[in-house]
């Protein structure tokens, strides 16, 4: 093949951008070269960083700087506001590109099968995160009437949800939150937030830094019960094997032995409590029932048959994300992933689906930190280029870079570009500058499109 290899990447979040970066750094990028188009359903790029990370995490959002440098390279084009498969389906992608990499992530909440989970006041954490991050496709308001709230889960998303619920709106005003989110949080009545983990401190999936950040707010008291600090042989082995596990456990231990202060909002971190029922009255959440668990020696837990009813008026499920099924690709509903072998999509008979690859959470499930997707991308790109070298890619029927642009325009698709993102970025920064803030995020899709020049 004398022309550059044409690659489509569906999803312009960290996973997709890391895959593009890996392609550009490969030997194939030198001869015959690679040409990459990223397709994103949002008008703006960066995926999880823009719409899945709490606004008061500037350190994590700093990753955008590195991602920006990748997208700024001339062999990459960005097409935003593109729906798969509505605007481009798999047949279209195979016609225009030699290979397609899906990096669509996971944005829905994993289900929790306990009674009462469908009551009013029972929410998925992903929906709440989308609201406070200004996602254009969710409602502009959020009910924040509960004074006592339960958050189910022992990971970073649970911490984010608890912290946003417990902080005052004015503490978040220095961030990029849009006006509707600030207005909503000003009406928030939450005073107590209870975070529940089914296992113990050594099994919590918190990052050490994110856990410590929970205690930085001058308005939030973080409380850990001394009786929840417990380890068995399996837990001790976990602490010895991983520094971050030991750091999390040590932080929780220090909080458990300190005196409780008088900050007005409180976050209680509970361990060894397994949710068994969301209690309701008149169709609304009125409490949460948990079963006390105990360690079994291996780091796992078993139920004790002792139950506690907690007085809460809202429950947020932060037990994991789940990926959307992608048309014309196989899907494992248990893991919420596309079956694959090192990134090569596997058809129903176990063979490789030609020229089709996955990376990120749609490949391995929603686990790990953002940086872990680099390893996914490198593995997938290595397989893709090996298939190319072996002559196993069928080749695009219409590889001219303008062919896909003509296709989208003929369909009347209104798409954004990298130049358009830079215009939107400048507009958001100008909105922020007027208020003494770094940026104010634009929420409405139409406004995003208009300011992107689409």
Q: Tell me: the pLDDT tens digits for 180-205? A: 999 999 999 999 999 999 999 999 99
pLDDT at 305 over 70: yes
Average pLDDT (93-122) is: 96
Tokens (6 digits) for 329 = 């690709």
Distance, in Å, from the CA atom of 322 to the CA atom of 122, rounded to the nearest integer, reads 18
Give the pLDDT of residue 57.
83
Burial label for 269, CB within 10 Å (0-12, 13-18, 19+), is buried
**Token pair in block for residue 323:** 């990926």
With pLDDT > 70 as the criterion, what percentage of the chain qualifies?
99
Taking 90 as the threshold, does the pLDDT of residue 29 lie above it? no
- In the chain, % helix, strand, coil (3-state, to 5) comes to 35, 25, 40
Burial class (CB in 10 A: 0-12, 13-18, 19+), 437: middle
Mean pLDDT of the 103-123 span = 95
* E strand spans, 25-170: 34-40, 76-80, 99-102, 108-109, 122-124, 148-152
Give the separation between CA 275 and CA 290, rounded to whole angstroms: 4
Q: Annotate 282-316 with b (16+ C-beta within 10 A) or e (fewer).
A: eeebbbbbbbebebeeebebeeeeeeeebebbbbb
- Whole-angstrom distance, CA of residue 70 vs CA of residue 22: 10
Question: What local confidence, expressed as pLDDT, does residue 445 receive?
Answer: 97
Angle in degrees, CA 234, 237, 242, rounded to 5: 125
| Mean residue pLDDT across the chain | 95
With H, G, I as helix, E, B as strand and everything else as coil, classify residue 336: coil
Measuring CA to CA, which residue among 192, 174, 190, 193 is closest to residue 182? 174
Closest CA to 160 of 125, 136, 186: 125
Residue 190 CA neighbour count, 13 Å, CB half? 33
Closest CA to 101 of 331, 447, 309, 380: 380
Would you state the structure tokens that stand for residue 294, as one six-digit string?
A: 């105990």
Tell me if residue 98 falls in helix, strand or coil: coil
Dihedral pair phi/psi, residue 103, rounded to 5°: -135, 55
The token duo for 412 is: 């009347």
| CB distance 143 to 400 below 8 Å | no
- The CATH class of the 108-321 domain is alpha beta
Q: What's the pLDDT at 324?
A: 92
What does the alpha-carbon distance between residue 203 and residue 394 come to, in Å, rounded to a whole number? 46
Q: What mean pLDDT comes out for the span 14-29? A: 92
Is the bond leading into 32 cis (omega within 30 degrees of zero)? yes
Task: List, in sequence order, every residue forming a beta bridge with 148; answer none if it has no partner.
Answer: 192
Alpha helices in 299-417 (DSSP H): 361-364, 373-389, 401-410
Q: What is the pLDDT of residues 311-370, one digit of tens each?
A: 999 999 999 999 999 999 999 999 999 999 999 999 989 999 999 999 999 999 988 777
pLDDT at residue 371 above 90? no
Instruction: Indicate if the pLDDT at residue 54 is higher than 70.
Output: yes
Same fold, 5-107+323-415 and 108-321: no
The yes-or-no verdict on residue 31 having pLDDT over 80 is no
Identify the DSSP state of 323.
Answer: P
Q: Which of 31-35, 113-117, 192-196 has the lowest mean pLDDT?
A: 31-35
Which pLDDT belongs to residue 73? 94
**Tokens encoding 125:** 């954490």
Share of the chain above pLDDT 90, in %: 91
Whether the predicted model's global pTM rises above the 0.75 cut: yes
Task: Map residue 83 onto helix, strand or coil.
Answer: coil
CA distance 165 to 280: 21
372 half-sphere exposure, CB direction, 13 A CA radius: 9
**Average confidence (pLDDT) over 61-84:** 92
| Average pLDDT score over residue span 384-413 | 96
Three-class SS state of 113: coil
pLDDT for 341 equals: 97
CA-CA-CA-CA torsion sign (448, 450, 452, 454): positive
- Please answer whether residues 134 and 18 qualify as being in contact, where contact means their C-beta atoms are separated by less than 8 angstroms: no
For the stretch 264-304, pLDDT in tens is 999 999 999 999 999 999 999 999 999 999 999 999 999 99
Asked whether the predicted pLDDT for residue 80 surpasses 90, the reply is yes
Give the CATH number of domain 5-107+323-415; options: 2.60.120.650, 3.20.20.80, 3.40.50.720, 3.40.30.10. Answer: 3.40.50.720
Number of Cβ atoms within 10 Å of the Cβ of 130: 19
Instruction: Tell me the C-alpha distance between 287 and 280, whole Å.
Output: 7
Would you say residue 32 has pLDDT above 80? no
Residue 386 has pLDDT above 70, yes or no: yes
- Model confidence at 1, pLDDT cuts 50, 70, 90, reads low
Q: What are the E-state strand segments in 261-338? A: 265-270, 273-281, 284-295, 301-310, 314-317, 321-322
- pLDDT reading at 372 higher than 80: no
Domain ranges of the chain: 5-107+323-415, 108-321
- 257: confidence class by pLDDT, cuts 50, 70, 90: very high
**Confidence band for 59, pLDDT divided at 50, 70 and 90:** confident
Rounded to the nearest 10 degrees, how much is the dihedral formed by the CA atoms of 249, 251, 253, 257?
-170
402-422 pLDDT per residue, tens: 999 999 999 999 999 999 999
Query: Residue 382 — very low, low, confident or very high, per pLDDT cuts 50/70/90?
Result: very high
pLDDT at 9 over 80: yes
């Amino acid at each position: 093949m004398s022309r550059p290899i044409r690659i489509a990447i569906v999803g312009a979040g960290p996973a997709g951008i890391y895959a593009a970066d890996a392609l550009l750094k490969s030997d194939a990028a030198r001869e015959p070269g690679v040409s990459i188009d990223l397709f994103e359903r949002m008008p703006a790029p960066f995926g999880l960083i823009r719409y899945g990370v709490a606004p008061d995490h500037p350190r994590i959002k700093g990753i955008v700087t590195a991602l920006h440098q990748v997208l700024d390279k001339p062999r990459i084009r960005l097409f935003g506001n593109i729906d798969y498969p509505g605007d481009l389906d798999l047949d279209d992608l195979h016609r225009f590109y030699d290979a397609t990499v899906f990096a669509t992530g996971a944005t829905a909440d994993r289900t929790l099968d306990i009674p009462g989970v469908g009551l009013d006041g029972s929410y998925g954490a992903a929906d709440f995160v989308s609201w406070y991050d200004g996602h254009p496709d969710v409602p502009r308001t959020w009910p924040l009437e509960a004074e006592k709230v339960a958050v189910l889960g022992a990971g970073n998303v649970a911490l984010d949800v608890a912290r946003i619920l417990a902080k005052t709106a004015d503490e978040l005003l220095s961030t990029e939150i849009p006006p509707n989110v600030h207005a909503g949080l000003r009406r928030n009545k939450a005073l107590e937030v209870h975070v529940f983990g089914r296992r113990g401190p050594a099994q919590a999936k918190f990052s050490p830094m994110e856990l410590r950040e929970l205690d930085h707010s001058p308005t939030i008291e973080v409380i850990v019960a001394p009786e929840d600090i417990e380890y068995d042989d399996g837990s001790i082995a976990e602490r010895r094997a991983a520094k971050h596990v030991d750091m999390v456990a040590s932080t929780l231990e220090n909080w458990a032995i300190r005196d409780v202060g008088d900050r007005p909002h409180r976050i209680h971190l509970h361990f060894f409590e397994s949710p068994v029922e969301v209690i309701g009255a008149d169709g609304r959440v009125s409490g949460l029932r948990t079963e006390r668990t105990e360690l079994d020696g291996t780091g796992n837990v078993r139920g004790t048959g002792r139950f506690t009813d907690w007085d809460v008026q809202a429950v947020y499920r932060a037990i994991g994300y789940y990926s959307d099924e992608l048309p014309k690709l196989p899907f494992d509903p248990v893991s919420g992933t596309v079956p694959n072998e090192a990134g090569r999509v596997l058809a129903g008979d176990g063979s490789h689906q030609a020229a089709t690859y996955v990376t990120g959470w749609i490949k391995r499930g929603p686990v790990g930190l953002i940086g872990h997707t680099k390893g996914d991308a490198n593995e997938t790109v290595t397989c893709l280029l090996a298939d190319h070298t072996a002559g196993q890619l069928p080749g695009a029927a219409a590889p001219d870079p303008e062919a896909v642009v003509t296709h989208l325009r003929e369909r009347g698709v209104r798409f954004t570009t990298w130049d358009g993102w830079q215009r939107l970025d400048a507009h958001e920064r100008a909105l922020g500058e007027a208020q003494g803030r770094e940026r104010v995020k634009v929420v409405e899709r139409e406004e995003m499109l208009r300011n992107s020049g689409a």
